[in-house]
Structure 1
Amino acid sequence: MAPPHNPGGPGRERLAPAGWMVRLLGWCAPVLGASLVLTLGSLWILTPTEAWILSRTERIVVIGGLMVVVVGLMICLQVRVYRSARRLQATEQSLRFLSDALLQAHREMEHYRESEQALRDADRSKDEFLATLCHELRNPLAAIDHAGELLIDLDDDQEQREWAVRIIRNQTRQLALLIDDLLDLSRIAKGTLTLNLRPASLAHLVRSAVDAARSFLEDAHQRVVFQISDEPMWVEVDPSRIQQVLINLLSNACRYSDPGKSITISVQASKTEVVFSVKDQGIGIDPALMPRIFGMFIRGDAARDRSPSGLGIGLRLVKLIVERHGGTILARSDGIGHGSEFEIRLPKIASPPHLSTASNPELSATLPRLLLVDDNRPMVEALRLLLQREGHEVRIARTGRDAIEAVAIERPDVILLDLELPDTDGIELAQAIRSNDHSSCPPIIALTGSGRPVDLEGLQQAGIRVLIQKPVRIDELRETLARISREGAGTL
C-alpha cells in the first residue's frame, strides 16, 4: 500500500529547489547557446580575412544563421522538456490521487469490516436476547402453571395453598416487571416515556421499594442494611419510576450475591444533590466490562456462570430513567469477587411546606368510592376483591354506556377507566363523562395494557391526569388513590 500523499512532507521540501534549478537552467539554455555562438562567431569574424575563404560579411551571415539555428534548437528542446515535465507532473498527480484513493478504499474496507463485525455481534446479541427472553418467560409461566395445578388438587392443606398462591403472585409480578422493562426501553427510544413529576421524600421511596422487593429478598435470604440520613431529602421525581430503578438494582444485588449476605442502601444529601447507593457483597464486575456495564444486553461471563436469569437490559433502563430525571448513575467494583456498588445522584429541592417527612403518604383520611370500567372479567374481579380488602367500595361497569349510567347514579369519588373498551374509546368516554357533569366530575385514572404510544394531549383534554400500566400494581394504585384523597377530588 502506497503511503498517503503529504504535500507538506519533508521529501517534497527537499526536492523543490532542485526542480526550480533545472527549470531555470532550461529556460536559460537558448540564451547561453546564443551567447556561445556569438562569442565564437565574433572571434571568427575578427580573424584576418586572408585566413578564410569567406569574406567578413559572409561570415557575419553564417554566424547569424547559426545563432538562429542554435536558438531554435534550444527552444524546441526546452519545449519538449517542458511538455515532458508537465506529463511527468500529471503522472505524479495521478499517482498521488490513486494513492489517496487506495488509502480511502483501505479505510472504507476497514470501516466495512468493523460494521460487519458489529452486525455479527448485534445478531449474536439478538439471538442470545431472544433465547434468554424465552427462558425468562417460560420459567415464570411454568411455575404459575404448576402452582395452578397444585391449587386444583389441594383439599384442606392451607399451608401448601398459601405457598402456591405466593408462587403465582411472585411469578406474575416478575413477568409484569419484565414486560414493563421491555416497553419502557421502547418508549424511551421513541421519546414517548412520560414522567409524572412531583415532590417526594427519597427516604420514603427507598423504604417503599424495599417493601415492594421484600418477596425476592426473602427468597434469596438477603438482608438490607439502611444508612439513611435524618435530614430532609426531597426530590422532584416520578415515584413509580424511581422505585422501578431501586427494585432493579435490588434485584441485581440479590441475583448475584450468595444467600445470607447483606445489601447496604445509603441515602445522604449535600447542598444541591441527594445521593443514594445500593452496595452488595456479590460476584462484582470485571474491570474489562465496566466501560460497557450500562449497555444493551450486557451480561458478564461471571454473571452468566452465576445465574442464567436476566435479559441484560435492566441497568440500561436504570441509566436512561435516572438521566430523564436530570440525575447521574455511577458503577463501582474492585473486580470479580469483591461486590459492586451503584450510586445515583438526583437534584435536591426544598421541602414542600404542605408536606412533612414524618407523615405517611400512603395513609388517607377517607377511602374513596371507586368505579372500575373494564371488560376483562378475571382482571376486574381480582382487582375488585383487592380494593375491597383495602376498604374501598367498588362498582363495576363493562361498557361505555354502563359507565355513563353508573357515574350518574352511583356518584363515585374516583373512576378507574380502561382505555381499550369494546364499544368505545376510553378517551372519548372520559370526555363524554366530563361533558355530562361539568361541576362535579370525579377524577379519572386511566388504565392501559397496550404497548402503543398514548395520546398524552388527548388524555389531558379529557381530564385524565394519571395513566397506570396493566397489570396494575396495587402499591402504585394505593399511593395514587391516597394522593387523590389528600388533595381533593378534581385536583389530581
Structure 2
Amino acid sequence: MSAPSVLSIFRHAGGVVRAWLRRERMPLGANASARQRTEAALRDSEARLRQADQQKEELIAVIAHDLRNMLAPISTAAQLLKHTSQDPVRIRETSDLIGRQVVHMTRLFDDLLDVSRVKRGLIQLDPAPQDIKTVLSAAIEQTRSAMTDRHHQLELRLDDDDVEVSGDYARLVQVFENLLGDAARYTPPGGRIILSVHAAGKSVEICVRDNGIGIAPDVLPHVFDSFRTQEYRQGGLRLGLTLAKSLVELHAGTVSAYSKGVGEGSCFTVLLPRIETRVDARQANHDKAERHGLIRNGAGGES
C-alpha cells in the first residue's frame, strides 16, 4: 500500500473519530448545562419558598399581636362593667369602647377574607356605570369621623366634567375608603389631605395625597405586598393597600404609590378606564355630587 493511501486512511479514520466525539460530547455538554440551569432554578424556588414561609410566620405574629391588642380593652371594659352598673355615663363610655374594638376586629377579619378571596379568584364584581364623584363622596363619608377626630383638613380638587367608570359601586367605594383611611391614620393631627380627580383622555386619575409620615425608600416598592404591609408604616397589620390594589386591577386599572421619604408625606394614584357619560345622566350626576358637597362654586373644597 502506497504512502498516500495510508495517509488517506488515517485522515478518514480521524474524521470518523472526530465526528463520533462531536456526537457523544455535545449532548453531554448540553445535558450538563441543562442540569445546571435546573439546579439553579430549584435553588431559587427553594429560596423564594423559605422567604414566603418566613413572611407568613411574620404575618401570623402581627395578626396575633393586633388581636391581642384589640381584646385587651374589651377585657378591661368587661371588668369595669361589673363595677359601674349604677353609672350610666361610665356604662355608655365602656360600651362605646367595646364597640370600637369590635369594629376594628371585624374590619381586620373582613380584610383578611377579602385578600384571600381575591387571591383565589372568588371576588365577583357587579359592574355598572358609576359616577366617580358619587363613589368618592361615599368614601369620604366612611372616613369622615377619622379625619374629624384628628382635625385633618380635606381639600378637594375636582374637574368640572362629569366622569363615569364601569365598576362595582361597593368595591370602588372600598378602594377609596382604604386609601383615605390610610391617609388619615398616618397623617399627624391637624394634617392636610388632598383628594383630586382629573380626566385625561380615556382614563380618570384619582390621587390621594397627604403630608403625613411618608414612606421609606426601601419600603416603597413593597407597600402593596400583603406579606410585607406591616413594614409600611409602623402600627400593626395594614391590608387596606393590598386589597385596594387588587380591586383596582379587577377594574382594569392601576394604582401606584409615591413618597420622597420618611416625613415627606405620600401620594397614591389610581387610574381607571373612563366611559362616555350619557347626556341624560350628566345632570343627575351633577346633582348627586352637589348634594354630597363635592361641587362648590364649580371647583369643590372641604375642610
Q: Deviations over 1:425-477 (max 9, x none)?
A: xxxxxxxxxxxxxxxxxxxxxxxxxxxxxxxxxxxxxxxxxxxxxxxxxxxxx
Question: C-alpha deviations, 1:310-366, integer Å up to 9, x for none?
Answer: 24x332221121122232222222233321111112224415736343248999xxx
Q: Does residue 161 of structure 1 match 2:91?
A: yes
Gaps of 5+ in 2: 293-303
SS in 2 for 1:153: coil
Deviations 1:57-115 (A, max 9, x none): xxxxxxxxxxxx32xx5434432442233223322443333333332222222222211
2:258 maps to: 332
For 1:288 and 1:197, the matched residues in 2 are separated by 37
Superposition deviation, residue 252 in structure 1: 2.3
Confirm whether residue 151 of structure 1 aligns to residue 81 of structure 2: yes
Answer yes or no: is 1:310 the counterpart of 2:240. no
How does the TM-score come out when normalised to structure 2? Answer: 0.81
CA distance in 2, matches of 1:350, 1:223: 31
CA contact (8 A) 2:157 2:194 kept: yes
Aligned residues: 289
Q: 1:112 to 1:220 in 2, by over 3 A?
A: farther
Show CA shifts across 1:105-138 (max 9, x none).
2222222221111011101111011111112222
- Cα separation, 2, equivalents of 1:362 and 1:165: 34
Structure 1 residue ranges without an equivalent (≥5): 1-68, 364-492
Question: Where do residues 108-147 of structure 1 align in structure 2 (5 Å cutoff)?
Answer: 108-147=38-77
Task: Tell me the distance in 1 between the aligned counterparts of 2:92 and 2:70.
Answer: 17
Instruction: Output the CA distance in 1 between the equivalents of 2:202 and 2:218.
Output: 33
Given the alignment of the two structures, is residue 350 of structure 1 paired with residue 280 of structure 2, yes or no?
no
CA 236–168 in structure 1, closer or farther in 2 if over 3 Å, else same:
farther
Using structure 1 for the length normalisation, give the TM-score: 0.52
Q: RCO greater where, 1 or 2, for CA within 8 Å and sep 6 or more?
A: 2
Query: Partner letter of residue 49 of structure 2?
Result: L
Match of 1:262 in 2: 192
Which residue of 1 is the match for residue 223 of structure 2? 293
Structure 1 Cα separation of the partners of residues 192 and 91 of structure 2 = 31
Q: Helix, strand or coil for the counterpart of 1:286?
A: coil
Does 2:29 match 1:99?
A: yes
SS at match of 2:280: coil
Q: Which has the larger radius of gyration?
A: 1
2:286 maps to a residue whose letter is T
1:159 and 1:230 map into 2 onto residues whose CA distance is: 47
> How much has 1:280 moved relative to structure 2?
1.4
Q: Which whole-Å CA distance do the structure 2 matches of 1:98 and 1:199 have between them?
A: 62
Aligned-partner Cα distance in 2 for 1:194–1:361: 31
**Could you give the per-residue CA deviations for residues 159-194 of structure 1, whole angstroms, max 9, x where no partner exists?**
433333332332222222222222222222332212
Structure 1 counterpart of 2:27, one-letter code: F
Say if 2:283 is the partner of 1:341. no
Residue pair 2:188, 2:212 contacting (<8 A) in 1 also? yes
Contact 2:151–2:190 (CA under 8 A) maintained in structure 1: yes
Amino acid of the residue matched to residue 133 of structure 1? I
Q: Is the 8 A contact 2:146 2:185 kept in 1?
A: no
Counterpart mapping for 1:63-462 below 5 A: 69-70=1-2, 74-299=4-229, 301=231, 303=232, 307-311=234-238, 313-346=239-272, 347-351=274-278, 353=280, 355-359=284-288
3-state SS of the aligned residue for 1:330? Answer: strand
Q: Residues 184 and 230 from structure 1, CA distance in 2 versus in 1: closer, same or farther, beyond 3 angstroms? A: same
How large is the Cα RMSD of the aligned pairs?
3.0
3-state SS of the aligned residue for 1:79? helix
Distance change >3 Å, CA 250–CA 161, structure 1 → 2: farther
**What is the percent sequence identity of the aligned residues?**
31
Change in Cα spacing, 1:166 to 1:230, as seen in structure 2 (3 Å) is: farther
Amino acid at match of 1:358: D
